[in-house]
């Protein structure tokens, strides 16, 4: 007997856009949740549909990346007819999920207090830039801004260089995962207690929380984080990038045994016996003496040679890959981290899979929906609307301007 996907009994109504919110809900969709995207027909739907490059009309590879396995309903929530449909959907949902500015959910009428009369078990998840409280709640917030305001840029990059962001929108993606986690926790509690709730998440909170141990060191011990050359760890030495004869590798010694193994692998076993490098604290205090010795050693061989030696010795290490190299790494292939869907405009779309693996891997991925593609099925099959009801709602502008 084939088991249903883990979240096959979860339905979420999404008022989402761009990357952060859709990234979180896509992982739920991959796990089988029925994710119904509400898209504004007046604006061409989710703004992610219009992000270049690889964009044409209301399709883009950016949108495909964040919206597979979802359904789309074009609905104008600003008018009474569109609101009527939305409220019917709420009655059939476990959650309403949004990523809008912090003051917008209340204005749009999608908080728990505003919807509980329709569905007391409803979970209302809001992922915004700064949250639904505080002096910045009405400000728009984006990943780049969060990496600056949360202090990330001040500790990223080379010493003496300009403030630097991560090469990826990490705050957005982690914010989406946090929102997805909150939604699942809320749904479990609502099913247990029979009462729903609001879940107030923000990119700002996510970015601040991800300061983790440097924040603890600062708040408790007065530590001031600084940029470190070659992306070095703030306290463990060595734990950083090293240039080789033909490129770069990452070498990590987060346990004492790894330093001894590394010293032997680079033909310098005496380093492990040197009192200056005897333990974590000694190596941290004497890194100015140790690192030039290691850099000179790693410069003598190619990356491939060092990786073979270090791996054989059981030392944590890896190449500094390009994106193309990362996507063709044997481990990427072995873990089935590239999947394919078929699209009427883009043909075969190859993209990365979800890392959330629960039970047997899903193999029936559906491309991201076209704008409003699933409206008819949702209205008729889920809500039970007949032709006359659909025609009335269309004439009243529920799905956009009436013809």
Strand 34-39 to 11-15 pairing: parallel
Q: How far apart are CA 9 and CA 95, in angstroms?
A: 12
Q: What integer pLDDT is reported at residue 53 of this predicted model?
A: 96
In the listed set 320, 348, 383, which residue is the last one of a domain according to the structure?
320
pLDDT tens column, 78-119:
999 999 999 999 999 999 999 999 999 999 999 999 999 999
Do 204 and 236 lie in one domain? The reply is: no
Judgement on whether residues 348 and 314 belong to the same structural domain of the protein: no
Helix and strand counts by DSSP (H, E) for the chain: 18, 13
Closest by Cα among 378, 386, 339 to 93: 378
| CATH number of the structural domain spanning residue 278 | 3.30.1540.10
Given a cut of 90, whether residue 402 has pLDDT beyond it is: no
In a domain, 31, yes or no: yes
2: phi > 0 → left, psi -120 to 50 → alpha, else beta; which? beta
Rounded to 5°, angle at Cα 26 from 164 and 207: 30
Residue 165 within any structural domain of the chain: yes
Q: Is residue 246 part of a domain?
A: yes
Q: How many independent structural domains does the chain possess?
A: 2
- Same domain for 161 and 53? yes
Domain final residue pick, 262, 293, 320: 320
- The reply to whether 233 belongs to the active site is yes
Q: How far is CA 357 from CA 5, 120, 144, 328, in A?
A: 11, 31, 29, 20
My answer on whether 305 and 250 are in the same domain is yes
d(CA 184, CA 173): 17
HSE of 16, CA atoms in CB hemisphere, 13 A:
33
Q: Is residue 4 part of a domain?
A: no
Rounded-to-integer distance, Cα 263 and Cα 310, Å: 10
Question: Which member of 92, 218, 233, 365 is catalytic?
Answer: 233
Contacts 24+ apart (CB under 8 A), 181-190: 182/125, 183/12, 183/24, 183/28, 183/95, 183/97, 183/123, 183/125, 184/28, 186/95, 186/123, 186/125, 187/10, 187/94, 187/95, 187/123, 190/94, 190/121, 190/122, 190/123
How far apart CA 24 and CA 175 sit, in angstroms, is 8
* Residue 276, domain member (yes or no): yes
Residue 6 lies in a domain: no
Same domain for 38 and 174, yes or no, is: yes
Tokens representing 288? 């100015």
Instruction: Based on the fold, state whether residues 18 and 75 are members of the same structural domain.
Output: yes
* pLDDT band at residue 151 using 50, 70 and 90 as cut-offs: very high
Tokens of 279: 């333990």
Q: What confidence tens digit (pLDDT) does each residue in 30-80 have?
A: 999 999 999 999 999 999 999 999 999 999 999 999 999 999 999 999 999
Please say whether the beta carbons of 355 and 347 come within 8 A: no
User: How far is residue 327's CA from residue 130's CA, in Å, rounded to a whole number?
Assistant: 34
Angle between helices 80-91 and 387-395 (to 10 degrees): 140
Percent of the chain with pLDDT over 70: 100
Query: Is residue 171 a part of any domain in this protein?
Result: yes
Query: Would the pLDDT of 403 be above 80?
Result: no
Average pLDDT, stretch 183-203? 98
| Residue 325 counted as domain residue | no
User: Both ends of the chain: CA-CA distance in Å?
Assistant: 48
Q: Mark which of 297, 320, 343 sits at the end of a domain.
A: 320
Q: What's the whole-model pTM score? A: 0.94
pLDDT digits (tens, 9 = 90+) for 217-229: 999 999 999 999 9
Residues 46 and 180 in one domain: yes
Read off the CATH number of the domain in which 123 is found.
Answer: 3.40.50.10540
Residues 235 and 380 in one domain: no
Strand 248-252, strand 239-243: pairing: antiparallel
- Is residue 343 domain-shared with residue 309, that is, in the same domain? no
Token pair belonging to 380: 């008729």
Same domain (yes/no): 137, 276 = no
Structural domain containing residue 257: 230-320
Q: What is the DSSP string of 124-178?
A: EEEEESS-SSSTTTTS---HHHHHHHTSTGGGSSSTTS-----SS-HHHHHHHHH
Q: Could you tell me if 117 and 236 lie in one domain? A: no
Angle between the N-to-C axes of helices 256-265 and 303-312, in degrees from 0 to 180, rounded to the nearest 10: 130
- Mean of the per-residue pLDDT values of the chain: 96
- Do 174 and 41 fall within a single domain? yes
């Amino acid at each position: 007997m084939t088991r249903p996907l883990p979240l096959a009994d979860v339905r979420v109504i999404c008022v989402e856009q761009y990357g952060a919110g859709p990234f979180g809900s896509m992982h739920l969709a991959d796990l089988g949740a029925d994710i119904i995207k509400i898209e504004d027909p007046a604006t061409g739907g989710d703004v992610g549909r219009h992000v270049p490059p690889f964009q044409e009309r209301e399709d883009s590879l950016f949108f495909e990346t964040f919206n597979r396995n979802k359904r789309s309903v074009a609905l104008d929530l600003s008018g009474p007819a569109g609101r009527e449909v939305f409220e019917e959907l709420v009655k059939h949902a476990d959650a309403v999920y949004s990523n809008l500015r912090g003051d917008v959910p209340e204005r749009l009428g999608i908080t728990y207090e505003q919807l509980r009369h329709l569905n007391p078990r409803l979970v209302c998840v809001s992922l915004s830039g700064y949250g639904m409280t505080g002096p910045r709640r009405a400000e728009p917030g984006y990943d780049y801004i969060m990496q600056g305001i949360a202090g990330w840029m001040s500790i990223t990059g080379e010493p003496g260089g300009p403030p630097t962001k991560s090469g990826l929108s990490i705050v957005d993606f982690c914010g989406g995962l946090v929102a997805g986690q909150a939604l699942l926790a809320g749904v479990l509690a609502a099913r247990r207690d029979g009462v729903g709730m609001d879940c107030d998440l923000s990119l700002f909170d996510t970015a601040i929380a991800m300061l983790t141990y440097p924040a603890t060191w600062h708040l408790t011990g007065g530590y001031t984080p600084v940029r470190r050359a070659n992306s070095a760890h703030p306290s463990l030495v060595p734990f950083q990038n090293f240039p080789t004869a033909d490129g770069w590798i990452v070498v990590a010694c987060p346990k004492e045994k790894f330093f001894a193994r590394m010293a032997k692998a680079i033909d310098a076993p005496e380093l492990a016996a040197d009192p200056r490098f005897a333990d974590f604290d000694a190596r941290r205090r004497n890194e100015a003496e140790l690192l030039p010795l290691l850099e000179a050693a790693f410069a003598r061989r190619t990356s491939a040679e060092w990786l073979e030696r270090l791996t054989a010795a059981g030392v944590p290490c890896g190449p500094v890959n390009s994106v193309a190299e990362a996507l063709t790494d044997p481990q990427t292939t072995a873990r089935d981290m590239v999947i394919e869907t078929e699209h009427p405009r883009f043909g075969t779309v190859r993209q990365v899979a979800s890392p959330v693996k629960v039970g047997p891997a899903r193999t029936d991925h559906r491309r991201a929906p076209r704008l409003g593609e699933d409206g008819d099925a949702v209205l008729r099959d889920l809500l039970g609307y007949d032709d006359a009801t659909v025609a009335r709602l269309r004439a009243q502008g529920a799905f956009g301007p009436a013809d």
